[in-house]
Amino acid sequence: MRTHVRARRLLPLLLAAALLGVPVSAHAAPTAAAVEEVADFGADPGNLRMLRYVPDGLAPDRPVVVALHGCTQNATGYGTDSGWVELAERWDFSLVLPEQRGANNLNSCFNWFDSADTTRGQGEVASVVSMVDHTIAATGADPSRVYVTGLSAGGGMTSALLATYPERFSGGGVVAGLPYRCAAALYEAYTCMYTGKNLSPEAWGDRVRDASSHEGPWPTMSVWHGDADYTVTVANQRELVEQWTDVHGTDAEADRSDTVAGYPRAVYEDGAGRPVVEAITVTGMGHGQPVDPGTGEGQCGSAGAYVLDVDVCAAWHLGQNWSLP
């Protein structure tokens, strides 16, 4: 049944995927271990591939990061070019790299706009959680230190994972992505991508609260977006801030502002003064993953098409926020 349903929507997905398409460069940083596929990781209702990077000699009780690629990308390429593979080696944590299959989506987009894949216990979100469970069991990782991030369609799926399984993730990072349930079907995706969907913070928050029976605590959220992004409009950054500040019970007015590598950052704190949401706007950047190639402090990643050298590596800053080193 699942294959038949997906086959009926392949033609419209060609257009949607092209809009979210993010080709990946072929650069690869040398590492001691290697990205490997895990063929049998448990329940896989979303029919995804699981790849992972586990540093040699990984200590127990280390964190797990899930990194989700964009359309037309693959797991290994995105994990490498974004900087996450080199950071996993440098900082000693497990990296889970889900990969979409062509049978699900011809352009390898995660189906962030499909309710069948963004509902707890179903589809792609359930498959990714199976990968997390397998990694925790296989590596002895700390289940309280699991994080998820992704680019574009992978960013939309990051939102879905944080909403549907909030008890499983301590934090998330959405890069050029969209709020949870901005779309629940393909026809809604275009409005979200091009203009954004303007709802009240409470309405956005209700979409997260309705996705599970969880009552808190909630994952922290970091939102990265280029203000010259014409593929997924930067308006989605504001809607994500409204969604997750409401979930955390605070307002969408920044409590403090500063910069990250010279780019403006707004920080939103809960009633206890704890930063729970942040928004980094990369001025002048189009649609893509921010990287800063090099070996210096704060640098990581490899530049390529839609993996953009803008002198800031989003993966490095997310890792710092999550205390991965």
Give me the active site residues, please. 152
| Beta-carbon contacts of residue 232 (< 8 Å; ≥ 6 apart) | 20, 152, 155, 176, 177, 178, 193, 225, 287
CA 143 to chain centre: 18
- The contacts of residue 79 (CB under 8 Å, 6+ apart) are 35, 51, 53, 67, 69, 85, 95, 97
| Distances 252 to 161, 205, 248 between C-alpha atoms, Å | 22, 12, 10
> Are 290 and 313 spatial neighbours (Cβ–Cβ below 8 Å)?
yes
- Specify whether the CB–CB gap between 255 and 268 falls below 8 A: yes
